[in-house]
Amino acid sequence: MCGILAVLGCIEGSQAKRVRVLELSRRLKHRGPDWSGIYQKAGFYLSHQRLAIIDPASGDQPLFNEDRSIVVTVNGEIYNHEQLQQLLTNHQFRTGSDCEVIAHLYEEYGEDFVGLLDGMFSFVLLDTHDNSFIVARDAIGITSLYIGWGFDGSVWVSSELKGLHDECEHFESFPPGNLYSSKSGGFKRWYNPPWYNEGIPSTPYDPLVLRKAFENAVIKRLMTDVPFGVLLSGGLDSSLVAAVVARSFLSSKVSKHWGPQLHSFCIGLEGSPDLKAGREVADYLGTIHHEFQFTVQDGIDAIEDVIYHIETYDVTTIRASTPMFLMSRKIKSLGVKMVLSGEGSDEIFGGYLYFHKAPNKEELHRETCRKIKALHQYDCLRANKSSSAWGLEVRVPFLDKEFINVAMDIDPEWKMIKPDQGRIEKWVLRKAFDDEENPYLPKHILYRQKEQFSDGVGYSWIDGLKEHAATHVTDRMMANAKFVYPHNSPLTKEAYFYRMIFERFFPQNSASLTVPGGASIACSTAKAIEWDAEWSKNLDPSGRAAVGVHASAYDAPMPNSGVVGKASSKLINKKAKMVDVSNPGLTVST
């Protein structure tokens, strides 16, 4: 991931302004430690902090068209850049960068070219013929992006809040799948697939079609000129990513960077579920596996740095970001600059615990649509910023545009969780990779109960955070929380503790408004309460709830899995004893 910062149409075009833009751009250097670049024309500045993944030698930014009249600064990867170049036979490319194609596509197609891009991206493009500009963000919001407005009529764009929050009267998160045009002076949606409007699809489930779409999504993300690996917690999603990469590794040109074996990475407290499961999957796939252990105190010591980098006070995001932040530093120290990860699967397939209570397929589908639309505020934000803090790029094949189209076009009746039929959460995904003749994963891994990342790294992690927060936030402070923080008022001491740190780094009202919901909604979604009112009693936002649902969901045998449901129930109940006894409604997440 790179860092971009643009100031567009400011009154001042002086050397002092250039120095200030460079100063602000340096706040993003962690995202791109390999090179820095800036373009200036009058009151327009496009700056770039580069993480070199493709064409490290010549792909420095900003990038230009042939006569340098079109300027672009990009954060991300364009996976179909070679195919797009074939559409541009009359253009000369000066670098091997996958992002250079953007400038030439604009010349040919104008603002409408964005829909041709297949990848994760945020970019600013300046047309110096009339000083018009466009800003765009990828379909789901995998890359982070913010936009702000100055008193002088200028528009500011930055990969992170810290690049613009001191300079803008108002700023906000740039909406995914949108384009901002100076000509129209506003946003317009460029990404509008059928699922986005929440209509109920009716395509029959075909496991082979789903499998092939996911394999394609993974393989296209092996585009790299630097060493890479996979994050491997041993859960279903990361294990499937690793399995597909492992099968493709030897046949892909990327293996030349690290030899014939794939590298995998996992983090957890000593004895954590993820460390054990990750090691087992790594042994099965034959990866060179790297385990990183941390302590609760290590995580607590990192909390301020984590909040500064991920720019949120959302409780579940901070809990999960901290181990990922620590792991990313270790991975980068090994010389790795890119990893593949499993974000997005739970949102697409209804993998969270409360989906057990979905009353019908219509409700389930609409909720998956809503969850995908919110990913840029939660899991995408976590994955992007936790890793970018150390100059590491994370690619997420489950959020591939084509794969989402296939997965979200399946009749949601197939995604309904039906324990009496052996259909547990994400059954359609598990079944697609349940290959008897050439197994992708062992059965018990393919049908492993989901762990929320912040639980999988060790059950004492969250409890340690709560205990630490309780020593810093008093009952009197909590009594006044709604007055001190009237927007997204914290309902727990842990939430209050994070909010204090966030406000110290980002005191502006606009900054607090970029965080949705805070800790106020149990199980991170109002639907959980709507489908089961009991969950409204749980102030913990993580989804550590409803052990009864979890146990009953696994009473039935899982078809062809070799895993008996009641045995899983006993394991779940055993785990439930490990959580905070002060809140008996809490248990391990699914």
Report helix angle 236-249 to 273-285, nearest 10.
20
Q: Are 545 and 585 in contact (CB under 8 A)?
A: yes
Radius of gyration of the chain (CA): 23
**Comparing C-alpha atoms, which of 256, 290, 238, 7 is closest to residue 133?**
7
Instruction: Count Cβ atoms within 10 A of the Cβ of residue 536 and give its class: 0-12 exposed, 13-18 middle, 19 or more buried.
Output: middle
Q: Which of 2, 168, 380, 523 is catalytic?
A: 2
H-type helices in 374-415, by residue range? 379-388, 401-408
- The answer to whether 187 and 175 are in contact (CB under 8 A) is yes
Does residue 2 have an active-site annotation?
yes
- From the DSSP assignment, how many helices (H) and strands (E) are in the chain? 23, 17
Q: Is 47 annotated as a binding residue?
A: no
d(CA 54, CA 59): 7
Cβ-based neighbours of 70, under 8 Å, separated by 6 or more? 64, 103, 106, 107, 125, 126, 127, 128
C-alpha span between 275 and 253 (Å, rounded): 30
**Are the C-beta atoms of residues 339 and 287 closer than 8 Å to each other?**
no
Q: Please give the chain's pLDDT, 590 residues, in tens.
A: 799 999 999 987 789 999 999 999 999 999 999 999 999 999 999 999 999 999 888 889 999 999 999 999 999 999 999 999 999 989 999 999 999 999 999 999 999 999 999 999 999 999 999 999 999 999 999 999 999 999 999 999 999 999 999 999 999 999 999 999 999 999 999 999 999 998 999 999 999 999 999 999 999 999 999 999 999 999 999 999 999 999 988 665 655 555 678 999 999 999 998 999 999 999 999 999 999 999 999 999 999 999 999 999 999 999 999 999 999 999 999 999 999 999 999 999 999 988 999 999 999 999 999 999 999 999 999 999 999 999 999 999 999 999 999 999 999 999 999 999 989 999 999 999 999 999 999 999 999 876 555 567 877 999 999 999 999 999 999 999 999 999 999 999 999 999 999 999 999 999 999 999 744 344 455 677 788 877 766 667 665 554 455 444 444 444 444 443 433 333 333 333 332 222 322 222 33
| Distance of alpha carbon 387 from alpha carbon 376, whole angstroms | 15
DSSP 532-571: -GGGGG---TT--B-HHHHHHHTSSPPTTTS--HHHHHHH
Residue 8 Cα distances to 11, 39, 124, 155, 278, angstroms? 9, 11, 10, 5, 47
- Whole-number pLDDT of residue 164: 97
d(CA 5, CA 123): 9
pLDDT of residue 448: 80
The sheet with strand 63-64 has its strands ordered as: 63-64, 70-78, 119-127, 132-137, 178-181, 186-189
- Helices of type H across 342-492: 345-349, 361-373, 379-388, 401-408, 427-432, 443-446, 453-456, 460-470, 475-479, 481-484
- Report residue 196: phi and psi, to 5°: -65, -30
Q: Tell me, what's the pLDDT at 565?
A: 40
Torsional sign, CA 353, 359, 360, 364? negative
pTM of the model: 0.91
Closest CA to 118 of 85, 84, 76, 79: 79
CB atoms within 10 A of CB 264: 30
> Cβ contacts of residue 169 below 8 Å, gap of 6+?
148, 149, 150, 151
The CATH number, out of the four listed (1.20.1250.20, 3.10.110.10, 3.50.50.60, 3.60.20.10), of the domain defined by the range 3-192: 3.60.20.10
What does the domain layout of the chain look like in residue ranges?
A: 3-192, 197-576
CA distance linking residue 418 with residue 431, whole number of Å: 14
Cα(340)–Cα(218) distance, integer angstroms: 8
Q: What is the CATH number of domain 197-576?
A: 3.40.50.620
Residue 574 has what pLDDT?
34
Query: What DSSP designation does 580 have?
Result: -
Strands 132-137 and 35-41: unpaired
Q: In what order do the strands lie in the sheet with 155-158?
A: 35-41, 44-50, 3-8, 155-158, 146-149, 170-173
Flag whether 98 is marked binding.
yes
**Token code pair at residue 535:** 């969950």
DSSP structural state of residue 161? G
267 marked as binding residue: yes
Q: Percent helix, strand, coil in the chain (nearest 5)?
A: 45, 15, 40
Q: Tell me the two tokens of residue 413.
A: 């009746």
Give the number of other CB atoms < 10 A from CB of residue 476. 7
Tokens of 139: 């379909």
